[in-house]
Amino acid sequence: SFLHNSPFFASAPTSGSWRESRGLSRTRPHSSALGGLQPLILGHKGAPQVAPENTLASLRVALELGADGVEFDVRPCRSGELVVIHDESVDRTTNGRGRVSSLSLSQLKALDAGSWFHPRFEGERIPTLEVALEVASSASLIDIELKVDVRRRRAHIGRRALGIVAERGLLDRVLFSSFDPFVLWHLRHLDPRVRTGLLLAPRRQAAWMRAWRMGETSFDVLCPHHQMLNPEFVGRARANGYGLLVWTISEPAEMRRLAQLGIDGLITDRPDLALRVLREEAS
């Protein structure tokens, strides 16, 4: 396939162990039980099987279930603040309607982001990035996916997210990921300490190819969909110094397959299940 033969891999600088070079040593208490070669487990939007996605409740539950870290999505609202929500609109995950980019922070804060999932989560709100980082501050790794709907806002999203993370002293524990390579490029130029991960999907290769043509290969991590992973893909990524953080895995058999391929981390809707499977795999 295109991905396995892409010169993007061949043109990237080679580096040592991703964990060593990026300071991703495991610090959560359970992690030693997994063994040093086991992948990090990140809760996708928190723990969306147990609590409403991308809420503070969901982030807390993911860490309580034993995840090493969390992945969540951020996008700007009308008034410029970064809020934690996956979709362009609030329709699916709140009791409101409308595009996030058309609503102010005060309007978003008035919405109920929990009742759609279960009545006991009534009153959960759409978090700001600042509050989400407070809840996730104990995580070994926080993957912030930057959602870019309007290209002219790339610089704003990157600058604002970087400022919030740096202000809290969390740069060493945050990975900024995006399907948009140029927001990641902008971040890297704002601060060379930033760690970036390029999201890859089987049918979304155009942005990746544009980035390669422009010589933009300074990502630390590739974040491919799990169906893209095979030994050749992993080998090429490793040969060129990329870490591998794979999404979104919920089936035990696929968790085992990816662990055996030697990935660095997996993003899952079921962090509790992943922890159990990887412990069994390591024993």
- How many domains does the chain fold into? 1
Q: Per-residue pLDDT tens for 49-69?
A: 999 999 999 999 999 999 999
Domain of 29 in residue numbering reads as 2-75+140-282
pLDDT at 213: 56
Question: Worst-scoring range by mean pLDDT, 53-62, 90-99, 177-186?
Answer: 177-186
4 is catalytic: no
Between CA 270 and CA 248 the distance in angstroms is 10
Give me 243's structure tokens.
């870490």
Q: What is the mean pLDDT of residues 16-39?
A: 39
The pTM for the full model equals: 0.86
Q: Is residue 117 part of a domain?
A: no
86 is catalytic: yes
Q: Is residue 156 part of a domain?
A: yes
CATH number at residue 264: 3.20.20.190
Question: Which position among 86, 118, 186, 226 bears the catalytic label?
Answer: 86
8-state DSSP, 99: B
Q: Is residue 133 part of a domain?
A: no
Between CA 39 and CA 256 the distance in angstroms is 11
Q: What is the mean pLDDT of residues 43-47?
A: 99
Question: Which position among 4, 30, 44, 189 bears the catalytic label?
Answer: 44
Amino acid residing at 237 = A
Give me 269's structure tokens.
């809707």
